[in-house]
Amino acid sequence: MNSEEIPNRSITLLLRERYVLSDPEIDRLLSHALNINSDMLDTEQDWCTPVIEGAQYMLKVNGIAMILHNRVSQYFENPNAIAECIISDPEIVEYVHNHKAWLSVGSLGSDLGKAQEYTALFRIITQFFNEDVVAMFIPEYETIIRLDRSRRQLLIDNPKLETMGYKI
């Protein structure tokens, strides 16, 4: 599969404040997401390595190569254009304009199907849910979803794209 064929399968959380992340914390969160011992993240099959500690990690879990970003900045280069193009909810428009940080996990490709890839992405991204998470952006669907406490819990309980009403 060449890079032109790899879809942009990623999930981005818009945050009120930056998520403070360290190597031990990411190992703990990934271990919890995958229901494995953190020592198992240092094998040929499953691994996590920092590119920039606290800000960028490369990982491979369950046959999927992924990248995780944790940034203190606006996610969208032009929030006005995004707000005009894909958002009708005024509360989400406010989140797009006012978030201070973002955290994303994206697939760099796998031999798995779309549903399995998104399930893996959701299992990981839900580990970062807290009160600072205000919305979630899914680029492949050009969708921004408000994440209140009940929606966050819904995704934690059932970490799948279908939980948010999307068909695969």
The per-residue pLDDT for range 35-68, each reduced to its tens digit, is 766 555 556 677 788 899 889 999 887 788 899 9
In a domain, 1, yes or no: no
Residue 168 has what pLDDT? 65
Any domain includes 3: no
Domain membership of residue 56 as a residue range? 8-163
Q: What is the mean pLDDT of residues 23-42?
A: 72
Domain assignment present for residue 47? The answer is yes
Task: Tell me the range of 1-5, 45-49, 84-88, 130-134 where mean pLDDT is highest.
Answer: 130-134
Query: Per the structure, how many domains does the chain have?
Result: 1
The pLDDT assigned to 10 comes to 95
Identify the pLDDT of residue 24. 84
Band the pLDDT of 105: cuts 50, 70, 90: very high
What is residue 47's predicted lDDT score, i.e. its pLDDT?
79
pTM: 0.86
In this prediction, residues 95-119 reach a mean pLDDT of 90
Q: Tell me the average pLDDT across 82-90.
A: 81
Across the chain, mean pLDDT equals: 85
For residue 101, what pLDDT is reported?
97
Whether residue 83 is contained in a domain is answered as yes
Inside any domain, residue 67: yes
168 assigned to some structural domain: no
Instruction: Confirm if 95 and 134 have CB atoms less than 8 A apart.
Output: yes
Check residue 83 and give its pLDDT. 80
- Does the pLDDT of residue 102 top 90, yes or no? yes
Is 142 inside a domain boundary?
A: yes
**Tens digits of per-residue pLDDT, 118-157?**
988 998 999 999 999 999 999 998 889 999 899 899 999 9
